[in-house]
Each structure stands twice: as structure tokens, then as C-alpha cells.
Copies of this chain bind each other. A is one copy, B any other.
Amino acid sequence: MTRRIMLTVAYDGTDYCGWQRQTNGVSIEEVLQKAVDKVNGRSTPIIGASRTDAGVHALGNAAVFDTELGIDADVFAKALNTCLPPDIRIRASREVPGDFHPRYGECLKTYEYYVQNTSDVIPTLRRTNWYVSYQLDIGAMREGAAILTGKHDFKSFCCPRTGVKTTVREVTAFDIAKDQDALTFHVEGTGFLMHMVRIMVGTLIRVGRGFYGPDHVTEILEARDRTMAGATAPPHGLFLIGLDYDL
């Protein structure tokens, strides 16, 4: 009997060219694919949920594959971890309906972006935090984040290379927590465009630096023009925290 297995995948994205196969480097997908082929005993297509960019990390991306093996679903995680490098870990594996597709299923996605607002760089934090040394007005940034929350056309916050039918997305929560020098941008939504979280963070950093007031974020949204928004924040501060499927 064929069963569909969903994996919860965590990785340190530093040394990868992103989730998706590329010609310019090693992808998470191809390394995971090889491990699944080995455990499943045959060439096994895997379907990933979120194609994270080069350098982006994940605590809970997802991927599915089909198997005829009769072992318990949760055993796949342990078996796969013995075939994977230490910077990719399977945190859980479970059976899902045979027609479940991780990109088309309804889901709430959570991202976090980590900024260290200091010039005093701690080398062990450099792979997972964006160091921003400019003085930032956190109150203004929170006002900007509130404007981005809700259902909007996020065309200004989307990499123009992307080919999507609609650029309307819904951000259901956007908070900025501050703990000494550490800023955590916590973003939840039902779907995100290419580079959307990183462009939102880059834009809010401009608000924080006083390039423009938080109200200008409304104008950026209305312009539907990528050149109006701030620079794309670097990938290494971004974590895909988790995908909450209605299963």
C-alpha cells in the first residue's frame, strides 16, 4: 500500500544555494532527495513546501514523498537523519492523506527575521543575524509593521523576477520584539511572495533609520512598484519557523 509521508525539515542554510536545485551550488532539496532515495530503496520524487532562498534557514519547512515501506511513519525521521549531514535534520515524520500537496494545502506560515542592532559583532551570531549598526526608531518600525498587516497587494514587496497570478497576500501578524540589541521580526501569513519577508524587513529598517515615516509604507503598498520599497534584507537573518497545515 502506498502512503504519503510528510517530513518536518530544519536546516542551517549557510552552505546551500537554497531549497531548490540550482546549477550554482548544492541545494537542500537534492541532499534530502538522495537520503529519501536511500531510505525508501528506490528513486523517490519529493515535493517541498517552501522554496527558501540561498542562505535562509528553517526550523520547520516541509516535504512529502510516497512510500510502499511498511515501517511506522515516525521512523522515517530517524532513518533519514542517519543519511543527512548535520546541517539538515528531519525533526518529525508522519503520514498525511495521499492527495495532500504541501504547496497547495491551506497553511499558516511563520517566519522570523533576526537583527542585531549594534556595531559590536559577535562572530557566533553572524550566520543567523543581520547586523545593523544604525540607530533605529523601533516605535516607527512597529507602526510600519502594523500597516503591512492584513490583506494587501504586496507587488511592491515582491521580487520582479517572479511569475505569479496575483500579488495579493494576507499577513495575519507582524510583531517586532526587542531584547537589548536583538530585534525579532515575527511574521505570520497564509502565503508569501518571493523575497516578501526580506523586502518588508528592509523597508522597515529604512523607516527605523528615518528615511521616511511609517505612513509612507501605505504609499509604497499603493504604488505596486518594487523600486519604491527598501532593499531586500540579507538572507542569513531569515528563518522559516513553521508551517501549520489544517490536517
Q: Please report A residues at the B interface, Cβ cutoff 8 Å.
A: 10-12, 57, 59, 86-89, 91, 120-124, 126-128, 239
Contacts and interface: CB of A to CB of B under 8 A. Distances in A.
Contact of A122 (B59, B121, B122): B59
A37 to B, nearest CB: 21
Given A10-B122, A87-B123, A89-B122, 6 more contacts: A10-B123, A10-B124, A57-B123, A59-B122, A86-B121, A88-B123
Contacts of A128: 124
Contacts of A124: 10, 12, 57, 127-128, 239
A15 to B, nearest CB: 10
B12 A86 contact: no
Contacts of A86: 121, 123, 126
Nearest first, the 8 A-B pairs at minimum CB distance are A12-B123, A87-B123, A12-B124, A89-B121, A11-B123, A57-B124, A124-B128, A89-B123
Nearest to A88: B123
8 contacts: A10-B121, A10-B122, A10-B124, A11-B123, A57-B123, A59-B122, A88-B123, A89-B122
A228 B84 CA distance: 36
Interface centre among A12, A57, A88 (most CB of B within 10 A): A12
Contacts of A11: 123
Contacts of A126: 12, 86-87
A10 B128 CA distance: 16
Contacts of A121: 10, 86, 89, 91
A122 B60 CA distance: 10
A239 B125 CA distance: 13
A120 to B, nearest CB: 6
A245 to B, nearest CB: 19
Contacts of A12: 123-124, 126
A88 B124 CA distance: 9
Interface centre among A87, A88, A127 (most CB of B within 10 A): A127
A11 to B, nearest CB: 5
A208 B12 CA distance: 30
A33 to B, nearest CB: 18
A122 B59 CA distance: 7
